Amino acid sequence: MRALFVVAAVALAAFASVDLDFDGDVNLTNADGDFSFRFIGTGTFNLMGYVKLLGWTSLSVDASTASSEAKANGNAMVGLGLLPSTHNPPISILAYGSGTAAVDVSLDSFTDSLISLSPSLDANFAGGVVAMAALDMRECDPDNKTVGNIVLLDTDSLLKCIPHSVEGDEDNLVGYYCSYSPVGTDADVTVTFITSKRAGILEYGNTPVSPRTFEMVIEVSDFPLKDKKNHVRMDFGLLTAKGAGSLEGSATFVHRPGKEDIYVGASKHAVIDGKPGNVDVSFEVGSADMDNFAKGVLNMALGKDFDVQIAHVDFPAGATDFVYDPVVGAGKDIYQAAEGASTIALSALVALVCALLYLF
């Protein structure tokens, strides 16, 4: 398992500071084959004066040089990450389209269409959208009963989420983040959206990244537990179009005949108190209680009355500091590839030990 066997220099980033670097000792299984797209572009937006987001595009062809035939057979992904505001919790959206119009769509025009709540998304992306919403966190007792307040992950002030951009690995990694303390807790929360031009695993949170995924990373520091026997539970909404998604393991997949699958997933691993560890993830069908603006954006992206799977993520008892990374993506489940990478790293370590034992 990735969280148990990957040996990495992992440390919780300081509040209001995020460092992006790849773990040079490990990579995703079949990274070049399963997770390579040839081009990526990013942009940051300030919407309606209060919603800050990172936009991202990833294409199977270079739109600036591709022939008309290549574009017609090409694929495009557009990702949007909305930082928390007074009108929304952290939200990530992935839209996947095919054909010339999808490949040629600009990040500006796609974003304007979505946020302006225009009548419909580009038809080339219809049916190819998934989303993730980080809803809340709370203290729970050993029986998973809520103790104290439910802490929503939106903000109560426009000044609480000041966005910062960050880059890493010679601009192969681009992130956009903010740090704040949600209403109802003194805990520090940092929300980061990350895009990557190549596949790999980051030191920050052991987060797997690729040009086919859009990562939301949530870091929590100093969560005030009333009892060390209790634990923190975080709730995430895995969002798909009505009737389109199916829960498989810890991800909801949208299978599209003749097209690539898309998915929204909750990891079973995290960095906990500075070390790789496991979390318990359970699911139930539910609803996302959000501001009308956030619901409007999701209705626009997914269609009216979209489906919601609530992922309950339970951290170990007594843990007060952790980094967690849910994902939206296309193709192969990146978490499975990350776990495969751990097996590779472990096999190499076992081989080295065996060789040393043989020599001595």
Three-class SS state of 22 = strand
| pLDDT on residue 238 | 96
Residue-wise DSSP of 100-122: HHHHH--HHHHHHHHHTT-S---
Cα gap 38→211, rounded to integer Å: 8
Could you tell me which CATH class the domain 2-359 is placed in?
Answer: mainly beta
pTM: 0.85
Which tokens is 250 given? 């810890």
CB neighbour list of residue 130: distance below 8 Å, 6 or more residues apart: 93, 94, 238, 239, 240, 245, 252, 254, 262, 263, 264, 302, 328
Three-class SS state of 28 = coil
- Dihedral angle at the C-alpha atoms of 313, 318, 322, 325, nearest 10 degrees? -10
pLDDT along the chain (360 residues), means of 10: 33 56 61 53 69 81 75 84 92 89 79 62 76 96 95 87 87 90 94 89 89 92 96 97 92 88 94 94 88 85 89 97 94 72 43 39
- The domain ranges of the chain are 2-359
Q: For residue 116, what are the CA distances in angstroms to 85, 130, 158, 293?
A: 17, 19, 20, 10
Q: Sign of the CA dihedral 132, 136, 139, 144?
A: negative
| pLDDT on residue 232 | 98
Q: Of the candidates 202, 134, 199, which has an alpha carbon nearest to the alpha carbon of residue 166? A: 202
| pLDDT on residue 161 | 85
CB neighbour list of residue 129: distance below 8 Å, 6 or more residues apart: 93, 94, 95, 96, 121, 241, 262, 301, 302
| pLDDT on residue 50 | 62
Cα gap 300→294, rounded to integer Å: 10
| pLDDT on residue 24 | 64
